[in-house]
Structure 1
Amino acid sequence: MEMKRTHPLIITAAVAVILAAGIAIASMTGLLPSSQANMSEQEIAQMAEEKRLEEQAKIKEEAAAKKAAAAHSHKPAYKPAPVQTAAICNNCGRVVEVRQTRIQGEGSGVGAVAGGVVGGLLGNQVGGGSGKKVATAAGVVGGALLGNKIEKDRNSSTQYDVVVKFEDGTSDVYSFSSQPNWQAGDRVKVVNGQLTSSL
């Protein structure tokens, strides 16, 4: 019958466990030179007190270093120079748009009367009998309407509206009967209710 052999790794592990247990027992019983088992309770207490004092001194040094660093890094607060804001000119602004508008003239009635007479005369020249009467009546009505329109067109005018946006955010429109010198983007100023150029 063949004997089973124990694997070498198992033997190595068993030896390591035995050695670790022996070292632990020697440490607890004071057989090892570095063990504190040979030291008296007074020596152990003195070592603990020294360690506590060392830690307190280290904490105090760190606090002093932080305080010194904070004192060196503390700079007076930066105060920015006050910003000078330009005073708003309520009557200063910029031209936004120049609009051209045709204003229809008023009819005085002269054009309608004159047109009616001329239209009646022309209508009277057309046809004969009752057709002549119808043509004359149509000529009077048509001539009156046409004469009135011609008179209104003759009396119509062009108006120029200048739209201005002021520095305070408001806007206004100034009307002129002739074409003004301003264009969109020009700086203007209102003086005594009149629009003037501003540099």
Structure 2
Amino acid sequence: MESVFTDISNMELDDIHTADYTNFVSIMNIATTAKQEGLLDNFLDETKIINMETILNSIRANVSSLALAILKQNNVDYVFVEEVLDVVESSARLVHFSNKEVLEESLSDYRIYPNPSKDYITLEYSPLGDGEIIYSISNADGKVVLQKVLANTNNKSKTEVLIDIQELAAGVYYFNIINNGKSLSTKKLVIIK
């Protein structure tokens, strides 16, 4: 049976996974050499110990646990003390507010479909009363990538608007409905290509 890795030889790793792989190979080479030479105690030189301690202090637990095992094998008296820093409180505030009656009434017939979508989405809504209605689509960074003012006919019938999203790259976006300058609802929109 062939290795599953031969089937995915063209797979590219991101920086984190490349670092994990490099650290893992380094650890396994040291462990293999120690096993082949029958070394059990004090088989690491100063450079290898520093390398292992650097890996041990990484935040990637799957690789750091291997480094700790090798350091303990090298010296059973080896002690690792993990330093846990105090959590710094953020100065940001999270505020929740709503006028439940207004939101429930105004958003009862609002939806976007299909979601996920490739080229176009349909916004189906009932007019929300007086004032300007705007939809906006923001990327994951919060940048508005598409925005348009909708017709507000002040009648109760449903309105459908076809929205062209072909120019937007694949990814996660946020669809927002704004009435009279107030955000009424934000929904996640997934665009696939």
Q: TM-score, normalised by structure 1?
A: 0.17
Higher strand share: 2
Higher helix share: 1
- Considering Cα pairs closer than 8 Å and 6+ residues apart, tell me whether 1 or 2 has the greater RCO: 1
